[in-house]
């Protein structure tokens, strides 16, 4: 039995716009261990959401398609399946049951014309096979678990009667209701104000530990990462460029991009110091630079960086980084 719940290998996902293919994910590699919280960080537009949608295969209504790679999911003790090539019906039965998802927008992610209870019991009836009454009891339990007061009344209310924080709690209750092995949370607190944000994160962390559930937490907030995650994967322009434990990453970031990200987080104590930010912008999928995609913005770029993509190198402490700086031969050449 493996210790990994999900392994993403060389994942490539592309859109087709007017018959033209636009590749957004250029071979994403990472894995999530059982009971672990993995952070996925990166600037806006680097493909974090698309990675999560690829895992869930939630492409309906878009032109996105997985063009290469595999996503191995440990379905149960014996069986490992590749999510990129199971039939749609099998995938559908996994969604909400074994892999659940929470989205960024609590205000629009619930159906405005259906009662909370109706929406909450849907996956319970579908995946756990409960009858109406039992599902309702279970739903009320779930609402209480996520700290919603007067759960037995809220269940009869409509989304617009709840605040954003409450709605996100409902979303969490819904995602957790069938006891998933993996929870994907795509910026679950970005739309909420700071105090609510902390409460929701606490709640998620606590539920995750209680259930020993694995979690993929997408965020661009390194503060959230520091607080919540065990390990971090840093993405840039559709690729993973660094992977490390949270401690290692903050203590000794390897990739210049990661260094830049960490330097741009405001720190208490040196408020007077000007915040540093990474110069330039994320390249669009249509005009990706040759070589390392970060090279044009990189302060430590070398000639080789503009010509060839660096390979991913493994480091002590189970960390990875793709950067020419750590290729000793290249370094020698360029020095």
Q: Report the interface residues with ligand ATP, using CB under 6 A.
A: 15, 17, 22, 24, 42, 44-50, 62, 220, 285
Nearer to another protein by Cβ, of 95 and 205: the residue is 95
Number of chain residues interacting with another protein (CB under 8 A): 30
Nearer to Mg ion by Cβ, of 55 and 154: the residue is 55
Nearer to another protein by Cβ, of 171 and 321: the residue is 171
Give the span between the Cα atoms of 32 and 6, in whole angstroms: 5
Residues 1-60 that bind another protein (CB under 8 A): 56, 58, 60
231 binds another protein (CB under 8 A): no
28 and 70 Cβ atoms separated by less than 8 Å: no
Q: What crossing angle do the helices spanning 164-176 and 116-128 adopt, rounded to 10°? A: 10
Selected range binding another protein among 1-9, 10-18, 86-94, 217-225, rule: CB under 8 A: 86-94
Q: What are phi and psi of 174, to 5 degrees?
A: -65, -45
Question: Least distance (Å) from another protein to the CB of residue 109?
Answer: 5
291 and 309 Cβ atoms separated by less than 8 Å: yes
Q: For 95-139, list the strands marked E by DSSP.
A: 99-102
Give the span between the Cα atoms of 91 and 87, in whole angstroms: 6
Of Mg ion, ligand ATP, another protein, none, which one does residue 44 interact with (CB within 5 to 8 Å by kind)? ligand ATP
Question: Least distance (Å) from another protein to the CB of residue 96?
Answer: 4
- Cα distances from 8 to residues 71, 103, 145, 148, 240, in angstroms, run 4, 20, 31, 35, 11
Residues sharing a CB contact under 8 Å with residue 168, sequence separation 6 or more, in sequence order = 102, 106, 188, 189, 191, 192, 196, 200
Phi and psi based region of residue 193 (left: phi greater than 0; alpha: psi -120 to 50; beta: remaining): beta
Of ligand ATP, Mg ion, another protein, none, which one does residue 24 interact with (CB within 5 to 8 Å by kind)? ligand ATP
Of another protein, Mg ion, ligand ATP, none, which one does residue 274 interact with (CB within 5 to 8 Å by kind)? none
For residue 244 the two structure tokens come to 């490390």
For residue 234 the two structure tokens come to 């840093």
Nearer to Mg ion by Cβ, of 86 and 107: the residue is 107
Selected range binding another protein among 17-25, 121-129, 195-203, 324-332, rule: CB under 8 A: 121-129
> Where do contacts with another protein occur on this chain (CB under 8 A)?
56, 58, 60-61, 92-97, 100-101, 103, 105, 108-114, 122-123, 126-127, 158, 160-161, 171, 174
């Amino acid at each position: 039995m493996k210790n990994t719940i999900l392994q993403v290998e060389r994942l490539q996902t592309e859109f087709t716009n007017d018959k033209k293919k636009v590749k957004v994910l250029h071979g994403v590699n990472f894995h999530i261990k059982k009971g672990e919280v993995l952070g996925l960080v990166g600037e806006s537009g680097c493909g974090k959401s698309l990675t999560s949608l690829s895992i869930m295969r939630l492409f309906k209504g878009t032109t996105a398609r997985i063009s290469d790679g595999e996503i191995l999911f440990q379905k149960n003790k014996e069986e490992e399946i590749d999510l990129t090539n199971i039939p749609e019906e099998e995938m559908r039965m996994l969604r909400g049951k074994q892999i659940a998802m929470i989205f960024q927008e609590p205000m629009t992610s619930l159906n405005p014309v259906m009662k909370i209870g109706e929406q909450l019991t849907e996956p319970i009836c579908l995946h756990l096979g409960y009858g109406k009454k039992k599902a309702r009891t279970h739903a009320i339990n779930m609402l209480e678990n996520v700290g919603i007061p007067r759960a037995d009344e809220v269940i009869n209310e409509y989304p617009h009667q709840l605040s954003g924080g409450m709605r996100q709690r409902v979303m969490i209750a819904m995602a957790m209701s069938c006891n998933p092995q993996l929870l994907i949370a795509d910026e679950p607190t970005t739309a909420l104000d700071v105090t609510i944000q902390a409460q929701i994160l606490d709640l998620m962390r606590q539920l995750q530990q209680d259930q020993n559930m694995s979690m993929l937490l997408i965020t661009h907030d390194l503060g959230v990462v520091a607080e919540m995650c065990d390990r971090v994967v840093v993405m840039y322009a559709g690729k993973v460029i660094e992977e490390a434990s949270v401690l290692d990453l903050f203590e000794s970031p390897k990739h210049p991009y990661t260094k830049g990200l960490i330097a741009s987080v405001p720190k208490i104590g040196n408020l007077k110091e000007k915040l540093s930010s990474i110069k330039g912008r994320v390249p669009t999928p249509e005009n990706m630079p040759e070589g390392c995609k970060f090279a044009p913005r990189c302060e430590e770029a070398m000639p080789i960086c503009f010509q060839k993509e660096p390979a991913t190198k493994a480091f002590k402490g189970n960390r990875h980084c793709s950067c020419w700086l750590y290729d000793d031969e290249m370094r020698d050449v360029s020095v």
